[in-house]
Amino acid sequence: MSVMTAGGRSRWIGYLPRYLVMVPITLAFIFPFYWMLVIATGTLQTVFQFPPILYPLGHWENFLVAWGAAIDPSNNQYLHIDWPRFYFNTVLIATLTTLAVLVTSVLAGYAFASMSFPGKGLVFGLVLAIYMVPTEVTLVPNFIILKDLSWIDTYQAQIVPFAASVFGIFLMRQFFLTLPRDLWEAAQLDGCGHLRFLTTIALPLAQAPLITIALFHFVASWNAFLWPLIMTTSESVRPVQVALQYFSYADATNPVTHSAGSLMVTVPILIIFVFAQRYLVGGIASTGIRG
């Protein structure tokens, strides 16, 4: 049996206030996901029960109903949702958007950090100013541009408008600013140009911010709903979030299958987040930004 030393006890007591704050906050963030699981594995009878049932009831067949592999007992019909297609579309759109964001963020971030050109400060200020513009404001102008390009109801309509990110550019610029100037000067002596320095020296050091940017934008792209709903008309290019609308009816809702569907859509991104979350802190810290 281990005995806590005086030092260990005082350290534990020192941590206590932090845990008193962090644990409730963590629970508050986790609870909605847990509650989604409780509803998804419950029945229509238990959903609005009060006092609520706070543990999963184990009706895992609800996921089969949401997938369309079992009959929905609420209406004795199969749900006809082309999940594989919707998942494929989402993965494709999120992956290509993320790759595009990485490329543009690295190039623009490097230029703003390491290259001199007239009006650099002004241009960077303008780029940052874009961050202040709400997405809703750009909805109509972007729609008009895409319509003129005949891109409505296409994959590119869901990728290209999000191919550059102010956050990504800013983060990469901050990271490149932390690289010692000596590195660049030494590389120059060895005959390196900007592009070679960037690809062979700077980028291998930038894994943490790159993963951070990738994670942020993959999640944002995965969760996109309003934009694809407005820009697309056919299921062949629609992402998985839009599929969730098939669980909402004008005159009713089925919270059980809806939650099951929502969980099916959320779990992949949660898994990615769990594996990649440690890079988030590292990524932000490596850019010199401190909270």
Partner 1 sequence: MAAKRLIALAGALLVMACGGAGTPQNPKLGALSNKVEVTFWHALSGALEGGLKQITESYNTSQSNVHVTLVNKGAYSDLRKALLTALAAGSPPDMAQCLENHAAKYNESGALADMTPYMNAADGLTDSDKKDIFPVMFNDTKVQGKSVMFPFNKSTTVLYYNQDMFAAKGISTPPATWEEFFADAQKLAGPGVVGAESPPLDTWISMLYEYGGKLYENDSSPKKAAFNSAVGLKVTQLWVDALKAGYLKPVGTAAFADQVDFQNQKTAMYISTQVSYQFIRGPIGSKFKFAEAPFPAGPGGTKDEMFGANVCIFKKSAQDVQHGAFLYIKYFTDTAQTAKWAQLSSYMPVRKTAFDQLSGDFYKANPSQAVGVTMLTKGQLFVPPFLGSGDDQRDAITNELNQIWNGKEDAKTGLDKAASKVNDILATG
Contact positions vs partner 1 (CB under 8 A): 44-45, 47-49, 72-77, 139-140, 143-144, 147, 152, 226, 229-230, 233-234, 242, 245-255
Chain-centre distance of CA 223, in angstroms? 7
Whose Cβ is closer to partner 1: residue 161's or residue 168's? 161
For the CB of residue 28, give the shortest distance to partner 1 in the complex, in Å. Answer: 18
For the CB of residue 128, give the shortest distance to partner 1 in the complex, in Å. Answer: 27
Whose Cβ is closer to partner 1: residue 26's or residue 245's? 245
Write the CA distances from 243 to 51, 79, 190, 238, integer angstroms. 32, 11, 54, 8
Angstrom distance (rounded) from CA 71 to CA 56: 21
For the CB of residue 156, give the shortest distance to partner 1 in the complex, in Å. Answer: 17
Structure tokens at 102: 């990485």
For the CB of residue 53, give the shortest distance to partner 1 in the complex, in Å. Answer: 13
Whose Cβ is closer to partner 1: residue 73's or residue 282's? 73
The pair phi, psi for residue 72, each rounded to 5°, is: -75, 115
| 162 neighbors 217 (Cβ within 8 angstroms) | yes
For the CB of residue 70, give the shortest distance to partner 1 in the complex, in Å. Answer: 14
For the CB of residue 80, give the shortest distance to partner 1 in the complex, in Å. Answer: 8
Buried b (16+ CB within 10 A) or exposed e, 41-71: bbeeeeeeeeeeeeeeeeeeebbebbbbeee
Whose Cβ is closer to partner 1: residue 110's or residue 247's? 247
Structure tokens at 61: 């067949």
For the CB of residue 268, give the shortest distance to partner 1 in the complex, in Å. Answer: 22
Whose Cβ is closer to partner 1: residue 2's or residue 45's? 45
Whose Cβ is closer to partner 1: residue 80's or residue 181's? 80
Whose Cβ is closer to partner 1: residue 90's or residue 212's? 90
Residues forming beta bridges with residue 229, ordered by sequence position: none
DSSP state of 179: S
Show the DSSP H helices in the chain as ranges: 6-40, 44-47, 61-67, 83-114, 120-130, 135-148, 156-159, 166-178, 181-189, 194-197, 203-205, 207-223, 226-231, 240-243, 255-286
Closest CA to 47 of 228, 259, 204, 200: 259
The pair phi, psi for residue 3, each rounded to 5°, is: -115, 125
